[in-house]
Amino acid sequence: MNCILQAVQHRIELAAGQAGRDASQITLLAVSKTVSAARVRELALQGQRNFGENYVQEALDKIASLQDLPLIWHFIGPIQRNKTTAIATQFDWVHSVDRFVVAQRLSEARPLARGLLNVCVQVNLDAESSKSGVSPAALPELAEQIARLPNLRLRGLMTIPRASLAWSQQRAPFAALRKQLEALRQQFEILQAGRTDLHDANVQLDTLSMGMSADLEAAIMEGSTCVRIGSALFGKRI
């Protein structure tokens, strides 16, 4: 067992314990951007299954050379329209959907044989920044539009908050995202009660993709179900 992987798993277990949660509800997503396929393979052979990538071309090469392993690939980077076919074909999850045209193209390009593509909507919680992500105000409508797309399954929300060191400042945006997901669940309960055109299969709001190397404890305290960990597993990126 690789001691670095073990150390990160231990952090997750400790944080889950402190939050009174079961660590088995939290997926460790290893963010392997800029990391070689050989190092991904090494971690996979130690039992790591979920890997996240930000850049399409880099990811396609890695996915191709690791096809013999039963890995689950997550796309977590900004999405260019002309890359949607590659993403829909090669990935199991997309965490960074933030506009309808992208969701629509992902749904159209998803091969039926691969089943529904799991998607999270990326929310930009600090409005003044130029980061990607939909504003909280525009989230309800976008989520409803995505839920109608036949080849996607809406799983939840993702955010990348501004980096802060203080514990309470780290928790605030994660708490805000959790509340957004709770509101979305209520929205869909009401919608599904009154409509037959929204299918349960396309909406399964069980995912809060939040927390990175520096703030996974705060994210888990606020309900994260998927922490995206790069540097704590692979070292600083150059």
Ligand X SMILES: *Cc1c(COP(=O)(O)O)cnc(C)c1O
- Return residues touching ligand X (CB under 6 A): 31, 33, 54, 76, 160, 212-214, 228-232
Q: Counting every residue, how long is the chain? A: 238
Nearer to ligand X, 73 or 188 (CB): 73
Distance CA 99, CA 201 (A): 21
H or E element, residue 164? none
Report in angstroms how near the CB of residue 58 gets to ligand X at its nearest: 12
Q: CB 100 → ligand X: shortest distance, Å?
A: 21
Least distance from C-beta 201 to ligand X, angstroms? 27
CA pair distance 87, 143, nearest whole angstrom: 20
Q: Among 118, 116, 77, 122, which Cα is nearest to 99's?
A: 122
For the chain, state the CA radius of gyration.
Answer: 17
- What residues contact 42, with CB distance under 8 A and at least 6 apart? 2
Q: How far is the CB of 228 from ligand X (least distance, A)?
A: 4
Q: Shortest approach of ligand X to residue 84 CB, angstroms?
A: 18
* 30 or 147: CB nearest ligand X: 30
From the list 122, 111, 45, the residue with the least C-alpha distance to 77 is 122
223 or 230: whose CB is closer to ligand X?
Answer: 230
In the bound state, the residue with its beta carbon closest to ligand X is 230
Nearer CB in complex with ligand X: 34/189: 34
| Distance (Å, whole) CA 118 – CA 203 | 10
Q: Which is nearer to ligand X, 16 or 229 (CB)?
A: 229
How far is the C-alpha of 12 from the C-alpha of 83, rounded, in Å? 33
Helix (H/G/I), strand (E/B), else coil: 95: strand
Please identify, using beta-carbon distances, which residue of 188 and 234 lies nearer to ligand X. Answer: 234
CB of 72 to ligand X, least distance (A): 16
d(CA 59, CA 35): 10
